[in-house]
Structure 1
Amino acid sequence: MDKLLKSLPWWVKWIGIPVIALIVFGTLIASLVSIVIGLLFKLVVFVVLVGALVFVVKRVTSGGSGKKRDW
Structure 2
Amino acid sequence: MAVREIVTGLPWWVKWVVAPVLVLLLFGGLVAHVVGVLIGLLFKALALVALIGGLVFVVRKAKGSSKSRGDW
TM-score (norm 2): 0.82
Unaligned runs of 5+ in 1: 67-71
Q: CA RMSD in A?
A: 1.1
Which structure 2 segments of 5+ residues have no match?
Answer: none
1:29 is matched by which residue type in structure 2? V
TM-score by length of 1: 0.83
Count of residues paired in the alignment: 66
State the percentage of identical aligned residues.
44
Could you tell me which residue of structure 2 aligns to residue 11 of structure 1?
13
Deviating beyond 6 angstroms after TM superposition, the runs of 4 or more aligned structure 1 residues are: none
Q: Distance in 2 between matches of 1:32 and 1:25?
A: 11
